[in-house]
Amino acid sequence: MNTDFLYIQGAISIKTLKKLMNISLSINASKFVLWYYPETSEKKCNKIAKCFNKYKFIKRYVQPITTYWNEKTKKMEALTSSPQLYDLNENSIELLARNLHKISKFCDSLATYHKKKPEWELGLIFHEDMILFKNTIKNKDVLLKRKIEFSNKPPEN
């Protein structure tokens, strides 16, 4: 069992997305990346990324949340990420919420990051309705304070 994560049960709804993005901001994870499914076309990736151009931060390496088996290379590989990190703020959260259906259709996941760290802090894995936080004392305290239930064990489903 992986105890590096805090698991939060529940569907990823617009309300949940907004709440979690605001929690992410409260722990200074103020950047986000969209991670596309391997089969999402470049055209679709660019179309979704274009929505967030206004919130561009920088392009740099960040840790992926999930990996997929690549039949061609015969190894696990990270997903394709959005062209760069984007600023997470009130306006970009609203834009994420308005586009949640489209994002969840073409993106495997969304992750938040601190400004200068490559490790993700919060991850939403859309096709699994899974929400993960890094297992830190600070994150536990924030979730407890906001009365959000979590577990050190992955959901059974």
What are the structure tokens assigned to 43, written together? Answer: 């055209």
**Digit-coded pLDDT (tens) for 117-150:** 999 999 999 988 899 999 999 999 999 999 999 9
Contact 35, 113 (CB under 8 A): no
143 CA to centre of own chain: 17
Residue 93 has pLDDT above 90, yes or no: yes
pLDDT for 105 beyond 90: yes
Domain assignment of residue 71, yes or no: yes
Q: With 80 as the cut, is the pLDDT of residue 2 above it? A: no
In sequence order, what are the beta bridge partners of 125?
Answer: 109, 130
Structure tokens at 23: 């929690």
Residue 108 has pLDDT above 70, yes or no: yes
Domain presence at residue 151: no
Q: Is 157 a member of any domain?
A: no
Higher pLDDT residue, 109 or 80? 109
Domain contains 154:
no
The parent domain of residue 29 ranges over 5-145
3-state secondary structure of 113: strand
What's the pLDDT tens digit per position in 13-36?
A: 999 999 999 999 999 999 999 998
In a domain, 150, yes or no: no
Q: Are strands 130-134 and 5-8 parallel, antiparallel or unpaired?
A: antiparallel
What is the 3-state secondary structure of 13-59? Answer: CHHHHHHHHHHHHHCCCCEEEEEECCCCCHHHHHHHHHHCHHHECCC
Of 67 and 107, the one with more pLDDT: 107
**58 lies in some domain:** yes
Q: What is the pLDDT of residues 31-80, one digit of tens each?
A: 999 998 888 888 998 888 889 989 988 778 888 888 777 777 888 877 66
Confirm whether 45 is domain-assigned: yes
Number of domains in the chain: 1
Asked if the structure places residue 53 within a domain, the reply is yes
Look at 48-57, 89-98, 104-113 and tell me which has the smallest mean pLDDT: 48-57
Rounded to an integer, what distance in angstroms lies between the CA atom of residue 30 and that of residue 110? 13
